[in-house]
């Protein structure tokens, strides 16, 4: 379990990628989490331990995905080059099993408060290593002439299937990931939610502070810098979503408190909230505008000459047309089979039918049709769920997220700071997945599975303590 956390920053280990047939999604953490679950699950079954109730909607979703796969044999799947529908479904179901294994391992292992403290220490260590490497990349890119030294190239080649000399890496931080957007994903969905939560609750996994500054405070600031350095548009939007939620919570608290001083509290609260909202909106626009000087794709947003009436032309001018094209594939599959979808992994077979005519001249689309033999994916978790599992699978997955959200709000009301920290972390991770889901569609990336597994474990432990009437104990202190 310790190795599963320490290896989280690595997403495409070359050795594992070769063993898995050359896939670009090859995080070693899933191997360690799977081994831990294989060793731990028989003990749980022999002891007949109760499973957390959060498992119920997730198990129902897995069953719906399997039903969608079986029903796909009775529908007409269009051919795409030499790809096999049963093979693609088997691969998609395998990635789902990988995600479920990561979730179950963390949900069933962390049953006591001291294990959470140990866990977050490891999170800080792995996060610190990832941030140091990413900051070293930013130093080379912006302060040292953009020439990576040999030892950095060798280390990256040993831990990732993509070299630092790749064009997309020559102006963006990537960490140990396959591409910069994956760095933003792991920060937004896992690391930043914990560091934000620890900062909000005033807790630290190490128990000591220097000048009232904790390790989590430093890692939070560094993480935001690295996220901005990844120049991931969806990563930036997700960060703004997290900031908007925190601003909403702060505004609601402040408006209610200040409104008590006025004769008409409700009107005063509305005015204060509106004023703060406009201030936040101005700050968000200012941040995006400032980032536009570093990323030409963001600069196009502020070019009023590039706002045509046609929506696809707008997406093309904003360098976003490729994503819209991929999304259309998932939406087309959903439109054809809305109830149970076309089966896990099968949405890409509808590429030729769904791709907009105007998109066929895009360089990336031409490469798919002329050079690539692999099946294109949807690159959107929500549209993939709709297209491949239909309303049944999408609804059950959404129900699972709602159950997790309720668990996060329950933890935020607990007296033990460690539980409140996990509650805030879980809520922020859920919101981050909403944003990141518009760019990431893989079940094999472990970050949100592990974040939700931690949330499930803490919620289950807190409910059990509440039912047994246990006290907070020594780990309920400020440094828990």
Predicted local distance difference test score (pLDDT) of residue 480: 36
Average pLDDT over residues 291-296: 65
Beta-carbon contacts of 453 under 8 Å, excluding residues fewer than 6 positions away, are: 102, 103, 104, 105, 106, 107, 110
DSSP tag of 189: I
What's the pLDDT tens digit per position in 439-453?
888 898 999 999 999
- Using a 10 angstrom Cβ sphere, with 0-12 exposed, 13-18 middle and 19 or more buried, the burial of residue 334 is buried
| 216 domain-assigned | yes
DSSP tag of 378: -
| 111 domain-assigned | yes
Predicted local distance difference test score (pLDDT) of residue 244: 86
What's the pLDDT tens digit per position in 32-49?
999 999 998 888 878 777
Average pLDDT over residues 357-363: 78
| 316 domain-assigned | no
| 391 domain-assigned | yes
What's the pLDDT tens digit per position in 45-77?
787 778 899 999 999 999 999 999 999 999 999
pLDDT over threshold 50, residue 478: no
pLDDT over threshold 80, residue 470: no
Average pLDDT over residues 289-301: 64
Comparing 11-25, 193-207, 286-300, 411-425, the range with the smallest average pLDDT is 286-300
What's the pLDDT tens digit per position in 105-114?
999 988 888 8
Average pLDDT over residues 6-12: 94
Beta-carbon contacts of 23 under 8 Å, excluding residues fewer than 6 positions away, are: 17
Give me the chain's average pLDDT, please: 86
Our count of domains for the chain comes to 1
Give the integer Cα–Cα distance in Å for 318 and 308: 11
At 213 the three-state DSSP class reads strand
What's the pLDDT tens digit per position in 154-184?
999 999 888 888 866 678 888 999 889 999 9
| 85 domain-assigned | yes
Predicted local distance difference test score (pLDDT) of residue 477: 41
Beta-carbon contacts of 378 under 8 Å, excluding residues fewer than 6 positions away, are: 326, 327, 329, 330, 347, 348, 384, 387, 441
Hey, what are 428's tokens? 């922020």
Q: What is the pTM of this model?
A: 0.88
| 214 domain-assigned | yes
| 329 domain-assigned | no
Tell me the pLDDT band of 20, cut-offs 50, 70 and 90: confident
Contact between 185 and 11 (Cβ < 8 Å): no
| 93 domain-assigned | yes
Domain hosting residue 186, numbered range: 2-231+294-301+378-476
Predicted local distance difference test score (pLDDT) of residue 193: 96
């Amino acid at each position: 379990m310790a190795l599963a956390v320490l290896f989280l920053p690595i997403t495409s280990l070359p050795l594992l990628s070769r063993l898995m047939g050359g896939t670009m999604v090859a995080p070693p953490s899933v191997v360690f989490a799977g081994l831990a679950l294989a060793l731990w699950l028989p003990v749980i079954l022999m002891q007949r331990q109760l499973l957390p109730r959060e498992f119920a909607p997730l198990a129902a979703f897995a069953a719906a995905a399997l039903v969608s796969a079986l029903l796909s044999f009775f529908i007409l799947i269009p051919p795409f080059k030499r790809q096999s529908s049963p093979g693609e479904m088997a691969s998609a179901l395998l990635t789902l099993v990988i995600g479920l294994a990561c979730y179950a391992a963390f949900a069933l292992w962390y049953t006591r408060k001291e294990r959470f403290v140990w866990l977050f220490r490891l999170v800080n260590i792995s996060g610190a290593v990832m941030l140091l490497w990413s900051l070293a990349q930013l130093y080379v890119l912006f302060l040292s002439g953009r020439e990576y030294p040999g030892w950095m190239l060798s280390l990256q080649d040993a831990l990732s299937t993509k070299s630092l000399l790749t064009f997309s890496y020559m102006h963006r931080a990537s960490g140990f990931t396959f591409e910069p957007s994956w760095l933003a994903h792991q920060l937004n969905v896992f690391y930043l939610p914990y560091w934000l939560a620890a900062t909000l609750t005033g807790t630290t996994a190490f128990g000591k502070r220097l000048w009232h500054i904790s390790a989590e405070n430093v890692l939070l600031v560094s993480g935001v810098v690295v996220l901005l350095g990844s120049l991931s548009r969806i990563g930036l939007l997700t960060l703004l979503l997290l900031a908007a939620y925190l601003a909403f919570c702060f505004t609601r608290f402040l408006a209610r408190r200040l409104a008590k001083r006025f004769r008409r509290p409700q009107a005063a609260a509305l005015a204060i909230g509106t004023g703060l909202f406009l201030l936040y909106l101005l700050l968000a626009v200012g941040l995006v505008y400032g980032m536009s000087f570093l990323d030409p794709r963001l600069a196009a947003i502020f070019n009023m000459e590039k706002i045509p009436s046609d929506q696809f032309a707008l997406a093309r001018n904003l360098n976003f047309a490729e994503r819209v094209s991929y999304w259309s594939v998932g939406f087309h599959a959903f439109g054809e089979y809305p109830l149970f979808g076309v089966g896990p992994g099968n949405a890409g077979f509808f590429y030729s039918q769904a791709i907009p005519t105007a998109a066929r001249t895009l360089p990336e689309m031409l490469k798919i049709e002329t050079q690539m033999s692999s099946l294109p994916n949807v690159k959107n978790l929500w549209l993939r769920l709709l297209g491949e599992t239909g309303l049944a699978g999408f609804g059950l997955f959404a129900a699972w997220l709602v159950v997790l959200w309720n668990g996060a709000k329950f933890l935020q009301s607990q007296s033990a700071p460690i539980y409140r920290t996990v509650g805030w972390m879980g809520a922020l991770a859920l919101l981050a997945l909403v944003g990141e889901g518009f760019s990431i569609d893989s079940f094999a990336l472990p970050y949100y599975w592990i974040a939700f597994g931690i949330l499930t474990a803490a919620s289950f432990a807190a409910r059990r303590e509440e039912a047994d009437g246990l006290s907070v104990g020594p780990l309920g202190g400020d440094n828990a």
